[in-house]
Structure 1
Amino acid sequence: MRDDTRSGTQVVARVSAVLRAVSARAPHPVPTRDVADDTGLTRPTAYRLLSALADEGFLDRDGAAWVLGPELFLLGAVAADRYDITDLALEHVRELARLTGESAFFSARRGDETVCLLREEGSFPIRSFVLHEGIRFPLGVASAGLAMLAFVPDDERAAYLDAVDLSAQWGPQHAREPLEARLAQTRSTGWALNPGLIVEGSWGMGAAVFDERGAPAWALSLTGIESRFKPERQRELGRALLQHAHALSQQVHSRS
Structure 2
Amino acid sequence: MATGDSGPKTFRRGLQILEALWAAGDEGLRITDIAALTGIQRTTVYRFLSVLVEQGYALPAADDRVFVFNYAHFVGNPNTAYSVDRLKPVVARISAQTGDSCFLVRREGADSLCVHREVGSYPLQVLAVTIGHTQPLGVGAAGLALLANLPGDDIRQILVANKNILPKFGGMTCQQMEKLIESTLERGWSAVGNAAVPGVLGVGVPILHRSGHAIFAISVSSVMDRMPLKRQRSIVELIKKELASVV
Matches within 5 A, 1:4-15: none
CA separation of 1:79 and 1:178: change in aligned 2, threshold 3 A: closer
Q: Report what 1:170 is aligned to.
A: 169
Q: What TM-score comes out, normalization by structure 1 length?
A: 0.61
Q: Report what 2:211 is aligned to.
A: 213
Distance 1:80 1:96 in 2: 20
Q: CA deviation at 1:138?
A: 1.6
Q: Is the 8 A contact 1:190 1:242 kept in 2?
A: no
- Unaligned stretches of 5+ residues in structure 2: 1-72
Distance 1:163 1:79 in 2: 24
- Which residue type is aligned with residue 99 of structure 1? Q
Q: Is the 8 A contact 2:206 2:217 kept in 1?
A: yes
Q: CA deviation at 1:113?
A: 1.6
Query: Which has more helix, going by share of residues?
Result: 1
Q: Report what 2:86 is aligned to.
A: 88
Distance 1:79 1:227 in 2: 36
Distance 1:222 1:139 in 2: 16
Q: Report what 2:187 is aligned to.
A: 189
For the residue of structure 2 that corresponds to 1:200, the secondary structure is coil
Aligned length: 171
Q: Report what 1:108 is aligned to.
A: 106
Matches within 5 A, 1:116-127: 116-127=114-125
Q: CA deviation at 1:195?
A: 0.9
CA separation of 1:101 and 1:81: change in aligned 2, threshold 3 A: closer
Distance 2:138 2:156 in 1: 12
Distance 2:197 2:76 in 1: 35
Q: CA deviation at 1:81?
A: 5.2
Q: CA deviation at 1:201?
A: 1.2
Distance 2:152 2:124 in 1: 38
Moved more, 127-136 or 204-213: 204-213
Residue among 207, 231, 235 paired with 2:229: 231
- Which residue type is aligned with residue 125 of structure 2? R
Matches within 5 A, 1:153-168: 153-165=151-163, 166-168=165-167
Q: RMSD of the alignment, in Å?
A: 2.2
Q: Deviations over 1:17-61 (max 9, x none)?
A: xxxxxxxxxxxxxxxxxxxxxxxxxxxxxxxxxxxxxxxxxxxxx
Q: CA deviation at 1:162?
A: 3.2
Matches within 5 A, 1:8-157: 80=75, 85-157=83-155
Distance 1:198 1:85 in 2: 25
- Which residue type is aligned with residue 184 of structure 2? T
CA separation of 1:164 and 1:197: change in aligned 2, threshold 3 A: closer
Distance 1:115 1:204 in 2: 16
Q: Is the 8 A contact 2:94 2:102 kept in 1?
A: yes
Q: Deviations over 1:67-117 (max 9, x none)?
A: xxxxxxxxxxx9545698121101110110122111111112122221111
Distance 1:169 1:223 in 2: 20
Q: Report what 1:7 is aligned to.
A: none
- Which residue type is aligned with residue 169 of structure 1? K
Q: Is the 8 A contact 1:107 1:118 kept in 2?
A: yes
Q: Is the 8 A contact 2:75 2:85 kept in 1?
A: no
Q: CA deviation at 1:155?
A: 2.3
Distance 1:247 1:100 in 2: 18
CA separation of 1:220 and 1:79: change in aligned 2, threshold 3 A: closer
- Unaligned stretches of 5+ residues in structure 1: 1-77, 251-256
